[in-house]
Copies of this chain bind each other. A is one copy, B any other.
Amino acid sequence: MIEPIKPRDEALELLDQRALPEEVRYLHCTRGDEVIEAIQTLAVRGAPAIGIAGAYGLWLEARALQGAIDFSTRLETAKQAIRNARPTAVNLAWAIDRIWRQVEGMGANEMVPRLREMADQLFSEEWARNDRMASYGAALLVPGSRVLTHCNTGSLATVGVGTALGVVREGHRRGLVKEVFADETRPLLQGARLTAWELQQDQIPVTVVTDSMAASLMAAARVDAIIVGADRICANGDTANKIGTYSLAVLARYHHVPFYVAAPMSTIDPALADGSQIPIEQRNPDEVRYVRSAMVAPRDVAVYNPAFDVTPGSLITAIITDRGVARWPYARDIAHLLKTEAEGGRHHE
């Protein structure tokens, strides 16, 4: 199992994802600002992973400041900096705020071990969430499955087994998954660079394809299931995910291939009735015009570069969450899963 985040007794080791797949190297962090730099330079990426790294960063900084006369003031400044390392990563601000509320006002000697404890707890909660999702998802797979996936939804984006890739891993562990096809996932190539590398580490047979090849694999009956992650899921099951996901869902329907979405409950946004309410983020055209430093299109050409697309719930066979599996019509199943949570007394994450 890949460990993108390794908490040590006196430090935090972060897998530097910028160097993958060419090189496996860890950043050794002992201060908060080292963790901030790792987050800001995308050495560590994926919302859950960033939240966890930030929590350990706060612990490291408190540890380093222990004994300082102005401990509280300096730690609060560091806390703010960590919290705001990436403004769009809601998990990070959420994790830091939640932790800070519980330690505010403590003395250093009490606070340092408590911060470590809470970071460890966040880490293991995420791990357990992914394990539950993997288990629910694997139960949907048939023996000998050849699974196609898109983008990176594995250990590198979370901790533990991952979301969609967690289902693949658990399916492989149970002897159900025979082979994985990884869409390279243009423009940022998370599938080719990260998913392929992760699966190789776990010795799960993986074949990389360009995004344009998935259809011909399906036509040749070489894909038994498609499993992807999600960025946001509406109350009716409409799902925003990495650009290219909707294309796969349409192709899956045409070729009668089951199409699964795997995502934690925190991805569900019951305030959104349907996919038309999800704003589509347009990203930098240079992500398409260049691959790393190579120019692959005229430098001034117009580019359409949405970060994600929306797949209607009607094209999704099932949505796999850490609390169970939802099926069409999703409005009913999703409301039920959200209610289960409320009755369990757990706050919405």
Interface residues, chain A, with chain B CB atoms under 8 Å away: 21-22, 181, 183-187, 189, 192-193, 196-197, 200, 205-217, 219, 243-244, 246-247, 250-251, 253-254, 288-289, 291-299, 301-306, 309-310
Contact = CB atoms under 8 A, between A and B. Distances in A.
Contacts of A310: 216, 219
A299 to B, nearest CB: 8
Identical chains in the assembly? 2
Given A197-B298, A243-B212, A297-B193, A304 B217 contact: yes
Contacts of A302: 205-208
Main secondary structure of the interface of A (DSSP, over half): mixed
Contact of A297 (B21, B214, B247, B305): B21
Contacts of A244: 210, 212-213, 215
A18 to B, nearest CB: 13
Given A189-B296, A208-B297, A215 B250 contact: yes
B184 A297 contact: yes
A194 to B, nearest CB: 10
Given A246-B216, A291-B296, A296-B291, A210 B187 contact: yes
Contacts of A208: 288-289, 297, 301-304
Contacts of A292: 291, 294, 296
